[in-house]
Structure 1
Amino acid sequence: MQSGVREPWLLTTARHAVLLLFVAVSLWPVMDVISISLRPGDRLRSTEWQLIPENATLDSYRQLFTEQPFLRWMGNSLLVSLAVTATGVAVAAIGGYAFSRFRFAGRQAMMISILTTQMFPATMLLLPLYLMIAKLGLVNTFLGLGVFYVSTALPFCVWQMKGFYDTIPPALEEAARIDGCTRWQSFTKVILPLATPGLVITALFSFMSAWSEYLVAAQVLQDSDMFTLPLGLKSFQASMSTQWGLYAAASLLVSLPVVMVFLVLSKHLVSGLTVGGVKE
């Protein structure tokens, strides 16, 4: 459409109507969970749907903090997720730079191997990784769980950072080297600041892969005091009944850190996802 020519109002209205429909479909499950968390008892369904139900109560939220070890679960999840994020960002930043800037024997084979691992689900690695950490005596430890998460998140993170470094002209480093910087100084002072969007994507992916993961944590962690949030939420579900109020309230609280991270890092997300997707 030519610039300066306004599109018909009917087309604009239809476009907004479709967007509002998708927004409503996306928000409906969230509003349903909010309603369940406010219902007295453990009622999953009611005859009439209301966002704020009759006799609404905050007992589920109160029980989470007073009768359940919710804060301990959240602390465990934060510890594991932040450690995985820091490790993933550090290793991916250096590994991606090596693949982007250096030519060495086996480079192409290693890159293909990294890309190939993304074709298989992480559950396929569950048995060999579990045997490995069992031999190292890391079962039922946060370190063993972190090894799982870092090893499954790193392939994507390294490939993402490699693609982002490819978009940064090597001439910038050469100019820094001429000015007296070492290779490490040119990397940390010139390249890393320019690679901030890529680092943000790497950090977000690493955090998400650890924050909401359940299957691996259920196999590695056996002590209830070490449960992360997904394991803690699963404890609300029994064979004969489920504490739906606690389940819904905890689900909302678990999602808040992720939403906050997205909001804080949103300005870097688009450029980080698009600029890094270049062909070598």
Structure 2
Amino acid sequence: MSVQYATPTTPLPPRRRGPRLRTRTGSFFLNALTLLAAVVWVFPVYWMVNSSLQSYSGVYGANANLVPFPFSVASYGEVLADSSFWRAMSQSATVTAIAVVVSLFSAVLAAAALSRFRFRSKRAVLLTILIVQMIPAEALFIAQYRMMDGWGLINSVVGLALLYAGASIPITIWMLKGFVDGIPYELEEAAQIDGCSRFGAFMRVTMPLLAPGFVASGVFALLASWNEYTLALVVMTDPGSLTLPLWLRRFSSPFEATDWGAVMAGSALIAIPVIIVFMFVQSRMATGLTGGSVKG
């Protein structure tokens, strides 16, 4: 008969929850900081919409209302009933469309040349483009005004659009060059073997693949042209040739009280076209911003 002896059981070591707890705490604080940054970023937009929906007494009252009560759309009616608003909207839309088309057309040709061809001054050209982009816009106002005046393009939609396109082309070239670099040249070579010319291979094969790049760089050119104020202030001196940022200034006067309700309503209406564009190109833009960052 065998005798069994009881052996003392060794207790299991307690779980170490320190690293996981620190990870959860760090994640909580990171999420809290992100939420706080989002609130700080969104609050001016909310305050703009909130002020535009308040009555005159609510905007100018001593106590600010965080909620538009009583609700009023009188400021929007004042803006929409102004014929100069629609004229400025047409001016801005025309200038922005021309600037975006010219900048994209010029930039894709330059990006293709810098990406597909090898020449001695290639680095010098890239460096020149970067230096031009770093020059402050205010330093060019006098030269740009004299140039536009010499060409007879003061108070001209075409003249302002060319200036906007010139300001957007350097950054657009850099963005599109990254996209062209990411498309293998072997695809164009295969098209040339099938009978396409070099230009035809680029147009038939590479250009369709550049759609995300066109969207991403086009949005940047659109925002730069749609919201630009100082250059338009220098070039567009005729009251009948105002763009939307210049038109918005008419509600502010050094001799009269500023109509803040109309200013906020006009600002909200100016932002609506940009929001609509972002809603349509959001997915393409996200693909473009990540696709042009790596070289295939």
How far apart in 2 are the matches of 1:11 and 1:215? 44
| Residues 159, 67 of structure 1: alpha-carbon distance in 2 compared, 3 angstrom cutoff | closer
Match of 1:275 in 2: 291
Q: Gapped runs of 5+ residues in structure 2?
A: 1-19
Q: Which residue of 2 aligns with 1:247?
A: 263
- Check whether the contact 1:84–1:206 (CA below 8 A) recurs between aligned residues: yes
5 Å-filtered alignment, 1:186-265, equals: 186-240=201-255, 241-265=257-281
Give distance in 1, aligned partners of 2:262 and 2:79.
Answer: 7
3-state SS of 2:51 partner: helix
Partner of 2:147 in structure 1? 132
Q: Please tell me the residue identity of whatever aligns with 2:47.
A: D
Identity of aligned residues (%): 34
Deviation, structure 1 residue 153: 0.7
Q: CA separation in 1, counterparts of 2:62 and 2:223?
A: 33
Letter of the aligned partner of 1:247 in structure 2?
Answer: V
CA distance in 2 between counterparts of 1:265 and 1:37 reads: 28
TM-score by length of 2: 0.85
- Structure 1 residues 50-79: Cα deviation after superposition (integer angstroms, max 9, x where no partner): 32123x311110011113521111111111
Deviates more, 1:35-44 or 1:193-202: 35-44
Q: Is the contact made by 1:84 and 1:149 (CA closer than 8 Å) also made in structure 2?
A: yes
Kindly report the root-mean-square deviation, in angstroms, between the aligned alpha carbons of the 2 structures. Answer: 2.2
Q: In the superposition, relative to structure 1, how do residues 37 and 78 fare at CA in structure 2: closer, same or farther (>3 Å)? A: same
Contact (CA 8 Å) 1:36, 1:44: kept in 2 or not?
no
- TM-score, normalisation: structure 1: 0.90
Q: State the match for 1:153 in structure 2.
A: 168
Q: 2:193 aligns with which of 147, 159, 178?
A: 178
Secondary structure of the structure 2 residue equivalent to 1:129: helix
How many residues align structurally? 274
> Aligned in 2, Cα 1:100/1:136: closer, same or farther, shift over 3 Å?
same
**Cα distance, 1:271–1:279 mapped onto 2, change above 3 Å:** same
- In structure 1, the partner of 2:48 is 33
Task: Give 1:71's aligned amino acid.
Answer: W
Larger Rg: 2
Residue 108 of structure 1, CA deviation: 2.5
Name which of 71, 74, 78 aligns with 2:86.
71
